[in-house]
Amino acid sequence: MKSPIPRDSAAAAVRRALAKNPVVALLGPRQCGKSTLARAIAAGSRRPVFLDLENPADLAVLAEPMQALAGFRGLVVLDEVQRRPELFPVLRVLADRQPLPARFLVLGSASIDLLQQSSETLAGRMAFIDLAGFSLAEVGPAQLERLWRRGGFPRSFLAASEAQSAAWRTDFVRTFVDLGQLGFNLPAAAVQRFWTMLAHYHGQTWNASELGRSLGVSDQTTRTYLDALTGALFVRQLAPWFENVGKRQTKAPKIYIRDSGLFHTLMGLADRRALLSHPKLGASWEGFAVEEVLARFPTRDAYFWATHAGAELDLLLLRNGRRIGFEFKFTDSPATTKSMRIALADLKLDHLWVVHPGTHRHPLAERIEAIGLAELVTSAETLA
């Protein structure tokens, strides 16, 4: 099925990776559009092979995997590859052939098996590309509020009505509660509670002891569950930044449900009115904006900063030797705060953007500027 929303940037990234690597892993949560994107890429290849490892007929083709895969030429796509981790040693052998008759695009939900097997057997042979749902850069600035409310999962964003979008997300949460796919055994009811508790921590620092007591498990077990959902790209752990400023600083990560639509479903926010009147409105906007900024300013050096005295910075990016700060405010009239001025001085920021849902851009103080999220995303290349 061809997506009505072009994903040209993601497709180009995959094609560049395939040109340089014998194996490319496209990783993302279920239903984020991996298979649709892979089929679009495969359509541009000569005689591509697409095997879905949840399809019994395709699994039968791989009864003798070495023999079957060695016979293919061109692009070979293996969907839901985490279900067959024994394929990775086979791919290692095939990736070392010279000349290289085929390249492999493997799609997975970033399970523990996938990451462990690939790192152990395909080191230096595989490139990783993460794919989330639709981004603001893909759907366009006019769709900002719709994307925020519904989230980026294609079936949620493209649903014919708000009710259908909400129903899809509710069903998705109910059917996904299976950490067994990620290597852990936990009753579905406990997973549902864990999801809901994580949603209440959205935009806050992690407290393993509190969640452990609620679930009746150890702190380490809750950490294991959190890492599983992080690895599956459903949760983001934003690491704390430490600066030598002589102040007590927060050491726990900050937690976000990465898709804003799923967050709204977990919080029971069924429509726009419920969202705009909810105490988590600011946290919802913050999480949505964090994901959009990180999608447009890709870097491993992304942090938040907070002191026990109350000073904080929502997002700190280290890029090209510069320190760029972001504060996310759901207001039409953002203004500077004492916390912003402390962060600007203590962290020696080169620039601080105050990101809001509007369209105006104006300076607030020296090195502090208000900007609408849509403009920030569309002008990313010139801003950082």
Tell me what pLDDT residue 383 has.
61
Is 281 a residue whose pLDDT tops 80? yes
Quick one: 167 and 105 in the same domain? no
DSSP class of residue 81 equals G
Same domain, residue pair 188 and 66: no
Residue 191: per-residue pLDDT: 73
Confidence of residue 316 (pLDDT cuts 50, 70, 90): very high
Instruction: Tell me: pLDDT of 153 over 60.
Output: yes
Strand partners, 365: 368
**Domain containing residue 89:** 8-130
What would the mean pLDDT of 102-117 be, rounded to a whole number?
77
Helices (H), the chain: 8-20, 34-43, 56-61, 65-70, 87-95, 112-121, 136-139, 144-150, 154-157, 162-176, 188-200, 208-215, 219-231, 260-266, 272-276, 281-296, 338-346, 373-378, 380-383
Chosen domain end from 95, 130, 165? 130
Whether residues 211 and 353 fall in one domain: yes
Average pLDDT of span 208-236: 84
Domain at 18, CATH number:
3.40.50.300
Statement to judge: residues 195 and 120 lie in one domain: no
> Looking at the domain assignment, is residue 3 inside a domain?
no
* pTM exceeds 0.85 for this model: yes
Q: Closest Cα to residue 67, out of 47, 87, 46, 42?
A: 87
Q: For residue 340, what pLDDT is reported?
A: 96
Q: Is 380's pLDDT higher than 60? A: yes
- My answer on whether 115 and 165 are in the same domain is no
The confidence score (pLDDT) of residue 117 equals 65
Q: How many CB atoms lie within 10 A of CB 156?
A: 25
pLDDT at residue number 182: 54
For residues 225-237, give the mean pLDDT: 84
Whether residue 2 lies inside any domain: the answer is: no
pLDDT of residue 3: 65
- Of the pLDDT bands very low, low, confident and very high (cuts 50, 70, 90), residue 111 is low
Q: pLDDT at residue 217 above 60? A: yes
Phi, psi of 167 (to 5 degrees): -65, -40
Exposure string (b/e) for 366-376, b if CB count within 10 Å is 16 or more?
eebbbbbbbbb
What would the pLDDT profile of 168-213 be if each residue is shown by its tens digit? Answer: 999 988 776 555 555 556 666 777 788 888 899 999 999 888 888 8
The reply to whether 55 and 167 lie within a common domain is no
Q: What is the DSSP string of 97-156?
A: -SS--EEEEEEE---HHHHHHHHHH-TTTEEEEE--S--HHHH-GGGHHHHHHH-S-HHH
Asked if 125 and 208 sit in the same domain, the reply is: no
Q: Are residues 96 and 123 in the same domain?
A: yes
On whether both 285 and 168 belong to a single domain, the answer is yes
| Number of domain units in the chain | 2
Asked if 51 and 104 sit in the same domain, the reply is: yes
Per DSSP, the three-state class of 355 is strand
Percent of the chain with pLDDT over 70: 92
pLDDT category of residue 122 using cuts at 50, 70 and 90: confident
- Binned at pLDDT 50, 70 and 90, residue 84 comes out as confident
Last residue within a domain, chosen from 80, 103, 130? 130
Q: What pLDDT sits at residue 99? A: 93
Q: Does residue 367 fall inside a structural domain?
A: yes
Q: How far apart are CA 342 and CA 120, in angstroms?
A: 45
Per residue in 38-58, pLDDT (tens digit) is 999 999 888 899 999 989 999
76 within domain boundaries: yes
pLDDT score for 382: 60
1 in a domain, yes or no? no
pLDDT of residue 215: 78
112 and 169 share one domain: no
What is the mean pLDDT of the segment spanning 61-72? 94
Residue 26 β-bridge partners: 107, 129
Last residue of a domain, one of 73, 95, 130: 130
Q: Tell me: do 37 and 142 sit in the same domain.
A: no
Mean pLDDT of the chain: 89
Instruction: Name the pLDDT band for 371 (thresholds 50, 70, 90).
Output: very high
Strands 254-257 and 235-240: antiparallel
Kindly state the average pLDDT of the residues 124-134: 91
